[in-house]
Amino acid sequence: MVTTATTAAPLIEKHTIGYVPPEDRHGKTRDLFTLWFGGNIAPLPIVTGALGVQMFHLNLVWGIVAILVGHLVGGVLMALHSAQGPQMGIPQMIQSRAQFGSLGALLVVLIAGIMYIGFFASNIVLAGKSLHGVVDSVPVPVGIVIGALGSGIIGYRFIHVLNRIGTWVLGAGIVLGFGYIFTHVQTADFLTRGSFNISGWLATVSLAALWQIAFAPYVSDYSRYLPASVPVAATFWTTYLGTVLGSSLSFIFGAVAVLATPVGMDTMDAVKLATGSIGPLMLVLFLLSVISHNALNLYGAVLSVITLVQTFAYRWIPTAKSRAVLSVIILAACCFAAVGASANFIGHFVDMVLVLLVVLVPWTAINLIDFYAIHKGQYDIDSIFKVDGGIYGRYNPQALLAYAIGIAVQIPFMNTPLYVGPISEHINGADLSWLVGLLITSPLYYWLANRDSAYKRRLSTGKLASSI
């Protein structure tokens, strides 16, 4: 494993969306494990995991199986994106210009930015609830503002430092919480509440897989500072193990907590009740975890906004100061939105994720096929930052066609607040659109790209700046 010294690396780095040169690369691949493990021990995945038994009515055993299957499958895609970071040295979303063109990538970047902002707002709602649960005199809206302010200092290395600490503290805390719940179960139907049903099981698998896929648009942003000589396999496995283990523990913890308490309780209230005397400590730990978890979302949202602006102001590569100003603006807007949405948080959160991921799944398929099967990690970085897209152009018809078809084929399998497809309705509401989107888009894009002779000429004549 090859790394460079980290002692000279600043806590808040100077780069935003620009290429990270070799002399600024630092860190170790093990940092990716702590980043994604610690970042996933948080209230939001706990609330999401509880839906398997609350909304889809699975029992504990089948709920756990569904959670594990979803994370094991979805984590593969997420970790494959992470492995792109050291090879490319640029954020994930701006790299999409190499697949879609400089203007063709705008829609995906916009959607990713909206998703980050939604996750940020959702997290600070849970921070407010956690703080109110610890100190009753603190209203939830005040707790929301405090949680948002705690996430306001962002930067690549700062995020890694937070999660190295969080891995040990939060990991120990959730193990302690599991131990307390299993020895103080307060319900007689802890193991028998709910049952296996195919629609609920598939829906829970999908929810877990989509949790992992939701990280795909920004996961390589946190590996791009690693030296380019870091093996792809090392980046993949440390990311995969960290994200699957951390998120699975949190999902299962949420399911266990609601089953150990009376039916109908809010998930975070159930956590406090189920953990008894250590409940306030658990809520404090989860409040602290929101800071590190939400730093990821704020950082990703800011990079998305910068990418959108830089598409039209291509000579502008903003500094850390520009990033800080945008962070304050986004943070303030999210506080305002979250205070109004806190009463129906779970409904808003699930609705947002399911709608946005319908359009992000085909992007995941195209990006991975392009990187691993077509370009094999070789890209012209200079072209990616040109206003006309350089050798990649303003639009890539093959990618845009595959993307549109990838969205269309998901429609019959969708189950979102906007639309329930006929096939999803037939299988009692299970949303399998993500799986269909992956299976159709991947081979379709590979076929379209390989049959386009003009596209092949661009690959052979371009200056190739990085490689696996």
Query: What is the 8-class DSSP label of residue 466?
Result: -
HEC secondary structure over 39-71: CCCCHHHHHHHHHHHHCCCCCHHHHHHHHHHHH
pLDDT per position in the chain (468 positions), as tens?
A: 434 444 445 545 555 666 777 777 767 888 899 889 988 888 889 989 999 999 889 999 999 999 999 999 999 999 999 999 888 888 888 888 899 998 888 888 888 888 788 778 877 887 787 777 777 778 888 888 887 776 655 555 666 676 777 778 888 889 999 999 999 888 889 999 989 988 889 889 988 998 999 888 888 888 888 888 888 899 999 999 999 999 999 999 999 999 999 988 888 888 888 998 888 888 788 777 777 677 777 877 887 787 777 777 766 666 667 767 777 888 888 787 777 665 666 566 666 666 777 888 999 999 999 999 998 888 888 888 887 888 888 889 999 999 999 999 999 998 776 788 898 888 777 778 899 999 999 999 999 988 765 555 555 554 444 434
Query: What is the 8-class DSSP label of residue 451?
Result: H
| pLDDT at residue 465, as a whole number | 42
Q: Taking Cα atoms as reference points, which of 411, 460, 463, 403 lies closest to residue 436?
A: 411
Give the position of tokens 């206003």: 387
- The Cα–Cα gap between 36 and 43 comes to 15
| pLDDT at residue 97, as a whole number | 87
Q: Return the CATH fold of 22-461.
A: Hydantoin permease (1.10.4160)
DSSP SS3 for 420: strand
Structure tokens at 222: 């946190």
| pLDDT at residue 71, as a whole number | 97
| pLDDT at residue 226, as a whole number | 85
Phi-psi region of 12 (alpha: psi -120 to 50; beta: other; left: phi over 0): beta
| pLDDT at residue 314, as a whole number | 65
Beta bridge partners of 420: 415
| pLDDT at residue 348, as a whole number | 65
Q: Where are the domains of the chain?
A: 22-461
Apex 72 CA angle, 117 and 367, nearest 5: 55
Beta bridge partners of 415: 420
Total-model pTM: 0.83
| pLDDT at residue 412, as a whole number | 92
Q: What amino acid occupies position 208? A: A
| pLDDT at residue 154, as a whole number | 54
